[in-house]
């Protein structure tokens, strides 16, 4: 059996590469014909390799992956990815979005404390640290022996520092350091008090549907043109009834959009691959193409911490009409205005230049600002911010986002870990920077050449042609 073969392969790996306790979606169907064989394989491995299966008292026996004991043979490489798991750690309470019970926990906590950066929890490549009380969630990836946390802990604001400190204890037990990408003002205040390295690198753009002055003539013209072409808005709410075919079609729009970015060799910085349908509390706006299938999609994810919604993703196929994403955003704003809500956020957008820097000496500050400016220019990270500005976000709701390096993470490995997790390649930055510099140099050379030619033409017109030299 496939499952039997995969379990026997465990003996080739060290427990540092094994996923954590947490039921895998492929094993959740306890009524299948493979259930008995699965339990037999599990019992056999408990005897042969000293498995330790963690179960709560009174819980039903379900096949679970568990940590191997210390008598495990030497490690080779991780097989977690081949099973569809997120990179996970050899400790309890770590799952991903595909594990049973996790979507329900996220729906409950997002409705109470959700923030825009918590959307990364819907990406199965991220691990989720959920303590036994299920009162908080931390989203992270491990790279370069650094647990890079994405966004604030999902819990009440006053509990964030304590929840993060408990997570750091677990990380120290694994020999990991920690960093936070996309921390909000509350965690930034805690970092300043603790003398952490702090970098203000991002901003959150928020529309207030109740006070927004409008989106301008261009967007209004695009909306009218789409309506003349027969394009109309469709709304899908899974809590009112699940349409699996529609969900597959919308996910195909998402896959085609991502592939088009790859084909055009666009930078993938800060990109995630979300599964918005993991949460049944979200709402989905879409339009249909001539073939009757969706050609655009915008997901409204509830962020209860601000009593509003995050619009992510907001995408359209290349064959969709001009201004389709603007059409979706306009209608999302209209819907929330009718509901009396005052918060629609686009999520994280990198700043054009680094803001506040603290917890480091002046030399590191200057080099950090220079490197960040070069990276933004090479990867065109300000493109997202330019798109958001079209919709006139509310300056009073604009919020800073920070990169935090707690004590013990002031080293090159921490920087490399953050770059790896956010899909920023130094070699790509270097290549694009050189190409841009060469293009700029060629442009200036052409401008000087045209300027000399124009000056020569003016000289001829003023003084006439230069007489030939006599032999």
Convert the pLDDT of each residue in 61-72 to its tens digit: 333 333 323 333
**What integer pLDDT is reported at residue 471 of this predicted model?**
52
Could you read off the pLDDT of 418-458 as tens digits, one per residue? 888 887 877 777 787 777 777 778 888 888 888 888 777 77
Q: How confident is the model at residue 407 (pLDDT cuts 50, 70, 90)?
A: confident
Q: How confident is the model at residue 129 (pLDDT cuts 50, 70, 90)?
A: very high
Question: Has residue 24 got a pLDDT over 80?
Answer: no
**What integer pLDDT is reported at residue 332 of this predicted model?**
94
Q: Is residue 319 part of a domain?
A: yes
Which structural domain, as residue segments, surrounds residue 227? 207-349
* Mean model confidence pLDDT for the chain: 77
Last residue of a domain, one of 71, 95, 114: 71
How much is the average pLDDT of 77-98? 52
Q: What is the CATH number of the domain that holds 256?
A: 3.40.630.30
Q: Is residue 261 part of a domain?
A: yes
**What integer pLDDT is reported at residue 69 of this predicted model?**
31
Q: Is residue 325 part of a domain?
A: yes
Between CA 423 and CA 271 the distance in angstroms is 7
Q: Is residue 102 part of a domain?
A: no
Could you read off the pLDDT of 329-386 as tens digits, one per residue? 999 999 999 999 999 999 888 888 888 888 888 888 888 888 888 887 877 777 777 7
Could you read off the pLDDT of 164-182 as tens digits, one per residue? 999 999 899 888 999 999 9
Could you read off the pLDDT of 220-235 as tens digits, one per residue? 899 999 988 888 899 9
Could you read off the pLDDT of 87-97 as tens digits, one per residue? 433 346 889 89
Which pair of structure tokens corresponds to residue 209? 């549907």
Percent of the chain with pLDDT over 90: 36
- Domain count along the chain: 2
Q: Is residue 289 part of a domain?
A: yes
Question: Has residue 270 got a pLDDT over 80?
Answer: no
Residue with tokens 């918060």: 343
Q: Is residue 230 part of a domain?
A: yes
Last residue of a domain, one of 326, 349, 372: 349
Q: Is residue 463 part of a domain?
A: no
How much is the average pLDDT of 118-145? 91
Last residue of a domain, one of 52, 71, 90: 71
**Is the pTM here over 0.75, yes or no?**
no
How much is the average pLDDT of 246-253? 94
Q: Is residue 132 part of a domain?
A: no
């Amino acid at each position: 059996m496939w499952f039997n073969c995969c379990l026997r392969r465990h003996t080739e790996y060290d427990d540092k590469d094994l996923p954590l306790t947490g039921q895998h979606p492929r094993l959740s169907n306890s009524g299948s014909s493979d259930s008995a064989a699965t339990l037999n394989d599990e019992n056999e491995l408990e005897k042969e390799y000293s498995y330790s299966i963690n179960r709560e008292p009174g819980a039903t026996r379900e096949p679970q992956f568990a940590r191997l004991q210390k008598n495990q043979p030497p490690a080779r490489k991780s097989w977690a990815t081949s099973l569809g798991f997120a990179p996970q750690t050899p400790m309890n309470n770590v799952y991903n979005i595909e594990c049973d019970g996790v979507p329900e926990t996220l729906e409950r906590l997002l409705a109470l404390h959700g923030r825009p950066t918590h959307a990364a929890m819907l990406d199965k490549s991220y691990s989720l640290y959920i303590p036994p009380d299920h009162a908080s969630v931390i989203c992270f990836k491990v790279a370069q022996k650094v647990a890079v946390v994405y966004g604030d802990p999902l819990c009440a604001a006053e509990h964030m520092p304590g929840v993060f400190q408990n997570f750091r204890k677990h990380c120290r037990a694994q020999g990991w350091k920690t960093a936070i990408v996309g921390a909000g003002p509350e965690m930034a205040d805690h970092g300043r008090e603790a003398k952490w390295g702090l970098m203000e690198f991002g901003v959150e753009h928020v529309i207030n549907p109740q006070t927004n002055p409008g989106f301008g003539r261009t967007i209004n013209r695009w909306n009218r043109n789409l309506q003349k072409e027969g394009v109309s808005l469709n709304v899908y709410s899974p809590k009112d009834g699940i349409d699996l075919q529609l969900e597959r079609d919308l996910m195909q729009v998402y896959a085609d959009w991502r592939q088009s970015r790859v084909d055009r060799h666009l930078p993938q910085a800060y990109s995630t691959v979300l599964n918005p349908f993991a949460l049944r509390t979200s709402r989905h706006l879409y339009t249909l193409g001539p073939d009757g299938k969706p050609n655009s999609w915008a997901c409204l994810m509830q962020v209860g911490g601000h009593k509003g919604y995050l619009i992510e993703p907001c995408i359209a196929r290349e064959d969709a009409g001009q201004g389709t994403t603007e059409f979706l955003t306009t209608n999302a704003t209209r819907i929330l205005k009718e509901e009396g809500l005052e918060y629609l956020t686009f999520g994280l957008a990198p700043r054009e230049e680094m803001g506040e820097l603290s917890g480091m000496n002046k030399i590191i500050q200057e080099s950090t600002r220079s490197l960040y400016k070069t990276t933004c220019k090479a990867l065109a990270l300000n493109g997202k911010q330019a798109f958001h500005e079209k919709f006139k976000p509310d300056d009073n709701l604009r919020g800073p986002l920070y990169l935090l390096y707690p004590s013990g993470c002031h080293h090159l490995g921490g920087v490399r870990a953050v770059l790896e997790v956010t899909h920023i390649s130094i070699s790509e930055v270097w290549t694009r920077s050189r190409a841009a510099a060469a293009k700029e140099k060629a442009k200036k050379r052409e401008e000087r050449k045209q300027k000399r030619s124009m000056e020569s033409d003016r000289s001829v017109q003023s003084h006439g042609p230069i007489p030939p030299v006599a032999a």
